Amino acid sequence: MDSKDAVTCLAALAHEQRLAIFRLLVKIGPPGSPAGEIADAVGATPTAASFHLKELDRAGLIHATRAGRYIRYAVHFDGMRRLLTFLTEDCCQGRPELCGSTIKKARTLCKGGSK
């Protein structure tokens, strides 16, 4: 992940409805949820929900899969983990004793961590 990708992710999340959608999908986990239910849950019109879901998808934070007439959206844990890793990279010059020594744990997120 480079700086541009990170800015795209952060801009995607820097919006009340999109943040609500993202957190909802984080909570739901791998099974995800169809677009209509997501729209209802966050109080968005179908048009707005579609627009915001596409933004989150483009940023690589969620992904879509068609299931019959529904399109299910689920959080993309790998994208999420890459973003958090990028934000905390080289914390305290790699000398964790400067900040409490636990920052490295931020890198071992959902779906296995390392790499």
Q: Give the containing element (helix H, strand E) for 34.
A: strand 33-34
- The one of a copy of itself, DNA, none whose footprint includes residue 43, by CB under 5 to 8 A per kind, is none
Residue 88 φ/ψ, nearest 5 degrees: -110, 10
Q: Does 11 bind a copy of itself (CB under 8 A)?
A: yes
CB of 69 to a copy of itself, least distance (A): 26
Q: Does 3 bind DNA (CB under 7 A)?
A: no
Cα distance between residue 84 and residue 99, in whole Å: 17
Amino acid sitting at position 63: H
Q: Give the containing element (helix H, strand E) for 74.
A: strand 70-75
Q: Does 46 bind DNA (CB under 7 A)?
A: yes
Using DSSP bridges, classify how beta strands 70-75 and 62-67 pair: parallel, antiparallel or unpaired: antiparallel
Out of 45, 68, 69, 90, point to the residue binding a copy of itself (CB under 8 A).
90
Tokens (6 digits) for 59: 């940023």
Window 62-91: residues binding DNA (CB under 7 A): 64, 66, 68-71
Cα distance between residue 90 and residue 62, in whole Å: 26
**Is the Cβ of residue 66 or residue 115 nearer to DNA in the bound state?**
66
Q: Which residues of the chain form contacts with a copy of itself (CB under 8 A)? A: 3-4, 6-7, 10-11, 13-16, 19-20, 22-23, 26-30, 77, 80, 84, 86-93, 95, 98-100, 102-103, 105-106, 108-113
